[in-house]
A and B are shown apart, each in its own frame.
Chain A
Amino acid sequence: MDWAVLWDYRQVLIDGLGLTVALSAVAIGGSFVLGTTLGCIGSLPGFVARRSVDTYVEAMRNVPVVAKLFFLYFVLGFDAIPAGLIALVSHQSAYIADVVASGFRTVPREQSEAAWSQGLARHEVFVWVLLPQVFRTIMPPLTSQFIEVVKNSSVIMLIGVQEMTFQTQHIEHQTFRGFEAATAVTVLYLVLALAIALAMTGLQRRFFGG
């Protein structure tokens, strides 16, 4: 084994890490906003709202990310980065919508009834009483969903985006030191997952008292 190759290729790895972090951050933000919005709409009493969200969730969830990615890139002709981001966001937002909707089901109906009875308007009940409780309960599954975004961002290498996983293959092609590169990148992914988990625990402590 030759770990020196990691040092020689440090810039390549750092660039890949940077791109993975950037793609993941944008995709996490996007899928969180879209997924939460859809989850909220899906929890409204109206039949059409609920079933529309269900249909979106089913459609997105049952097709692999790579399939969406290639469709966006090769068929619809998006550039690589937008195609990657749209694929990631459309995919994960479906899962997050489901997580949010199941969060709503855990809030006892007394909560919204009590708030409405106190004279709060429907939207105030939603924002001040329901949403905070939903977020409090879904922090753990939301954390896994965010980590899932980082993992899925690796598929974007298939359309030539030089993120971390791409660099593994690049180093293998140049030096046949793919094993070392793959090990290093694996460690980096672990660190990213850990960072997300820690950040989410911190948020949970900060806003929901543990």
Chain B
Amino acid sequence: MSEHNISVTVNGTHHELTVEPRTLLVSALREELGYTGANVGCETGRCGACTVRVDGETIKSCTRFAVQSDGAEIETVEGLADDGELSTLQEQFQENHGLQCGYCTPGMLMSADTFLRENEDPSREEIRDAIEGNLCRCTGYHNIVDAIEATADQLGEQR
């Protein structure tokens, strides 16, 4: 069984680790590096609970081998808060009751955060399209859309 030394930056921190080729990115993040924010739901690429940002773009970390991300800049939900202070998006999820069990939340937040970077004033329809790849088994979609919309409004006011 071959093993590979890779390095990744997660939320600004540099890590070196040794992985088997078949180690999934989500497993490396959770089990090797302790970033348990990315959740494992379906493991088939459908549910989005494992969504993280790799080099600025969201991907489902259960559908990528860790070794493929050698050298990548990875961002997980743990990186959204600033020194324990929740981001506007996280606050709005709390405010709007955008989570129930919270299992989908890390992936939802990563998709929404990425989307809001490029869409300052989105419609509800656009928000729904943006979180199409993130399933919420508690089906709290209305509140999730409310939370993302409220974040866009609040960030807009601050600009």
The answer to whether A and B belong to the same complex is no
